[in-house]
Amino acid sequence: MDQTLGYLREILSNYTDEHSEGRHLYRKLVKGHFSTEGAFVQELSSGEIAFLNKILPNEIKYAKEEQDEKRAKELNEVFELLF
């Protein structure tokens, strides 16, 4: 699995308990055989995109606060693909 997708899978795992959309996206990512974040994003519905648009800014901010620039960069790449 692509490292960016690994980061995305990790953050989505934090949203599986309280958010049905997070749980659905997590399962989709784990069960899918996506080679890149672009391939994953192409398979998203408008609702899934809206959910990621809602959570990714906070996750990117958190990564920056933790000085994890690589994670912030990788998650930002996914965020940019959503547009």
pLDDT of residue 46: 95
Residue 83 pLDDT exceeds 90? no
pLDDT digits (tens, 9 = 90+) for 13-22: 999 998 999 9
pLDDT tens track for 21-50: 999 999 999 998 899 999 999 999 999 999
Q: How far apart are CA 55 and CA 58, in angstroms?
A: 6
How many domains does the chain fold into? 1
- The arithmetic mean of pLDDT across residues 53-82, rounded, is 96
Phi and psi based region of residue 67 (left: phi greater than 0; alpha: psi -120 to 50; beta: remaining)? left
Range of the structural domain that residue 64 is part of:
3-81
pTM as predicted: 0.91
Rounded Cα distance between 70 and 51, Å, is 22
User: How confident is the model at residue 11, as a pLDDT?
Assistant: 95
Name residue, tokens 């609702």: 47
